[in-house]
Structure 1
Amino acid sequence: MDRRWIPGNDFTLLENGEEFFPRVFAAIANARREVIVETFILFEDKVGLQLQQALIAAARRGAQVDVTIDDWGSPDLSAHFLDALRAAGVRIHSFNPGPRPFGLRPHLLRRMHRKIVVVDREVAYVGGINYSADHLADFGPEAKQDYAVEIHGPLVTEIHRFCHAALAEGLRHQREKRQWWRWRKQWRAAAEQQPHVGSADAMFVVRDNRRHMDDIERHYRIAIRAAKKRIVIANAYFFPGYRFIRELRRAARRGVDVRLILQGEPDMAFVKTAASMLYHHLLRAGVRIYEYCERPLHGKVAVMDDEWCTVGSSNLDPMSLLFNLEANVIIRDRAFTQTLSANLDKLMRKACNEITVQSLGELKGWALVKNFLAYHFTRHYARWATWLPRHVPRLLPAAPGQGKPLAPGFAMLKEKA
């Protein structure tokens, strides 16, 4: 993909399922020709059933509907759920299907983690929100805090092309290959660029295991180096590379107001222990750290100065930066950046506890050794696992109940969606 700024876009910030799901379902309800959905998690709950009905209605109206799920993130869809989609003409694809020896997934650390929707090549959605009821406030205390964007303008064409290429590459082994390429060729012929509808320049940036292995992290580092006044990063899982940490420390030391909004209650106590080492390291350089405590933080967003921001699916941890297939949009627009910045400021004021060196206490003795080991294991375990097969996209029709019950340690990874 050509990494360049595309002008003339309009973005709407969508916070949590209450804002995201109605906009997506309404767009699908108005679809005339095509719906493409990629998601890590699709559960058969009230949200998943709403999505199912919207997709079935679109397919029955004659739209081509393709849904791609990760077979580990969405393992337990019933035959009834899938058959209803197929009967209407929806094509539902499973990323990394295959046998599970001893109940384990060989490509456990290679996941399709993107969350993308494109409707009629006219509107797109990118963010971190899955199709599950735990993105709604009425789920209770465990409801997730998260973000997505609705996109209009020329960037939609770029996202649409990417989704077509991903489907074509993933489906290359299927019998329907010839039909797929004929359909894709028709869309290419009609794929003139969308007109300019707004003032935002934007890029669609992905991470894969072939050509774009570090694009998302690299764009973060470029923006951090360029920041002059302010950096706010809200991320559910924050264990980036050493170069990333070094750029944050340098920014804080040259006078930039650097703030991190991180999870107050991580999924595992081990992560909290590792974070203590990271906290001391950053706080001593002048970085301010806030723990979000109102509900589980699931967002992956950032703002830098007055015009640069990003929203997407990528955490800033080894899983997202080294293994998962991810997608972010990077936006250069003063009005939208101010909207997201105001949202994060409100989060810090009303729902976060600021962490200080005094509140952490001094690291010494066994606590220092324990935190040191935990931090560096968390940072390095992904690189130690690079001997695992590198996951090239491969899609097959989704099968019901293709997942197996997960051991407790692996179940935690599924929550990092």
Structure 2
Amino acid sequence: MEIFSLIIIMILAWLAIDFKLGRFFHLKKVRKREYPKRHSQITLFKTGQDLYNDFFYEIKKAKKHIHILFYIVKDDKISHSFLKLLMEKAKAGIEVRLLLDRIGSKVPKQTVRALKKSGVKFQYSHIPRFPFIFYSLNMRNHRKISVVDGSIGYLGGFNIGKEYIGQDPKLGDWRDYHLRIEGEGVQDLQTQFLNDWFHATNESLHDEEGLFPELTTGPILHKLIPTDGAYLRHAFLELIQNAKQELIIGSPYFIPGKEMAQELINAANRGVNVSIIVPMNADHAFVKEASFPYFKPLLEAGCTIYRYNNGFFHAKVIVMDSDVCDIGTANFDKRSLHLNHEINCFIYDQAFIARVKNSLLKDFEKAEVLTIEELEDRSLFQRGKESLSSLISGLL
């Protein structure tokens, strides 16, 4: 028993050292990045079926190249259709590159072989590596980027799988926000995809002129912000601190950490109307419980917390007054703030912001408002799960 206990202690010590040293060396080399403000045409998708119809249609029309990065591609019927479409385009002579996160996606080996045989250039992103195997295992590429012919781009919360079109009976209808971009901003999506492709393959394509066609300007001012396990908190803190009247936050996983939670309380205390919408049910173990320690102080400060119960709410969105709307891949949690590689789009167009706000208000109508009485009525078992969840919240 003593030997077993010693082995457990040694393993836990190794994991802690691996994680801390991996984080230390990562932060030494990572740099803050953001692209210039651009003008593009931007379309918002809120259902997976609408997105897939548009996305698959543009893939079918592609004439030169298709670049796709997803965190998750499932092994199901909709994913098979998606991958089959990519193989057909590759066989037709279209240059297809597919980059998937190694931990998030579980594509069968025979499917990977079929993709490569058809001509699809396939690679996994963020393969765990020595010397910091545990840290690299947790540092995921959570970005979802697609670029077709260098002129149409997509980013947002949807991945590829049946649950994203509401076909998982446990989760029900899937609510998410995803953007289609046409115009200047596509060059930045392309650049970011190529950065991630280079990181995974060591193949540099940034000087390939055919990947960067001439683009038109659009009516909507926006800026793309990629983050690599650092600096996202700066962007979110700036939104919270600059809010004067209203702040709406939507996230499937709400684990902000003490600093971010205190800034939300500060905003409420200075008169900002702070609303937070999260799903009623969770799609991962412990993430729901890890949110609860933050809820009571926020409610006491006057924030409103909505729990969406018309399916699963997966949108990652922030609306700050009528000035800025953020839609992207980052959740409002510690993993997105401090580990994942994400990409978010800050939009500065008041008409577009109003449409997003109206959509969120409709989501509120399909949600229940959380009360302090409900929090205080939790069982000892629930509180115990919350304590455990808090201990591991940085890795959820």
Shift of the 26–370 alpha-carbon distance from structure 1 to 2, 3 Å rule, reads same
- CA deviation after TM superposition for structure 1 residue 331, in Å: 1.0
Matched, 1:118 2:138: no
Whole-angstrom distance in 1 between the partners of 2:194 and 2:263: 35
Whole-angstrom distance in 2 between the partners of 1:70 and 1:274: 25
* Residue in 2 that maps onto 1:43: 74
Matched, 1:352 2:367: yes
Which of 203, 222, 228 aligns to 2:223? It is 203
1:173-188 to structure 2, matched below 5 A, reads 180-181=203-204, 184-187=206-209
Which of 261, 264, 282 aligns to 1:248? It is 264
- CA deviation after TM superposition for structure 1 residue 24, in Å: 1.0
1:366-385 to structure 2, matched below 5 A, reads 370=384, 373-374=387-388, 376-379=390-393, 381-382=394-395
Gaps of 5+ in 1: 173-179, 383-412
Q: Kindly indicate whether structure 1 or structure 2 has the higher relative contact order, using CA contacts under 8 Å at least 6 residues apart.
A: 1
Matched position secondary structure for 1:139: coil
Whole-angstrom distance in 1 between the partners of 2:285 and 2:51: 31
Q: Output the amino acid matched with 1:137.
A: G
Matched position secondary structure for 1:107: helix
CA offset digits 1:320-377 (Å, max 9, x no partner)? 111111111111111211111111100111x20001223323799x799858845752
- CA deviation after TM superposition for structure 1 residue 136, in Å: 0.9
Whole-angstrom distance in 1 between the partners of 2:346 and 2:167: 31
- CA deviation after TM superposition for structure 1 residue 147, in Å: 1.5
Whole-angstrom distance in 2 between the partners of 1:306 and 1:99: 44
Gaps of 5+ in 2: 1-31
* Residue in 2 that maps onto 1:145: 175
* Residue in 1 that maps onto 2:237: 221
Q: Output the amino acid matched with 2:152.
A: V
* Residue in 2 that maps onto 1:65: 96
Shift of the 307–30 alpha-carbon distance from structure 1 to 2, 3 Å rule, reads farther
Q: Is the 8 Å Cα contact of residues 43 and 77 (structure 1) preserved in structure 2?
A: no
Whole-angstrom distance in 2 between the partners of 1:221 and 1:352: 26
* Residue in 2 that maps onto 1:262: 278
1:334-353 to structure 2, matched below 5 A, reads 334-349=350-365, 351-353=366-368
* Residue in 2 that maps onto 1:22: 53
Whole-angstrom distance in 2 between the partners of 1:190 and 1:344: 36
- CA deviation after TM superposition for structure 1 residue 277, in Å: 2.3
* Residue in 2 that maps onto 1:328: 344
Shift of the 4–207 alpha-carbon distance from structure 1 to 2, 3 Å rule, reads closer
Matched, 1:163 2:179: no
Matched, 1:194 2:215: yes
Shift of the 280–8 alpha-carbon distance from structure 1 to 2, 3 Å rule, reads same
Q: TM-score, normalised by structure 1?
A: 0.79
Q: Is the 8 Å Cα contact of residues 157 and 193 (structure 1) preserved in structure 2?
A: no
Percent identity among equivalent residues?
A: 26
- CA deviation after TM superposition for structure 1 residue 126, in Å: 0.4
Whole-angstrom distance in 1 between the partners of 2:392 and 2:270: 28
* Residue in 1 that maps onto 2:5: none
Q: Output the amino acid matched with 2:198.
A: A
Q: TM-score, normalised by structure 2?
A: 0.83
Whole-angstrom distance in 2 between the partners of 1:371 and 1:250: 28
CA offset digits 1:78-135 (Å, max 9, x no partner)? 40x22332222111101234699xxx97733121111110111101100111110101
Shift of the 17–362 alpha-carbon distance from structure 1 to 2, 3 Å rule, reads closer
Which of 107, 121, 126 aligns to 1:91? It is 121
Whole-angstrom distance in 2 between the partners of 1:217 and 1:106: 19
Whole-angstrom distance in 2 between the partners of 1:255 and 1:367: 36
Q: Is the 8 Å Cα contact of residues 128 and 137 (structure 2) preserved in structure 1?
A: no
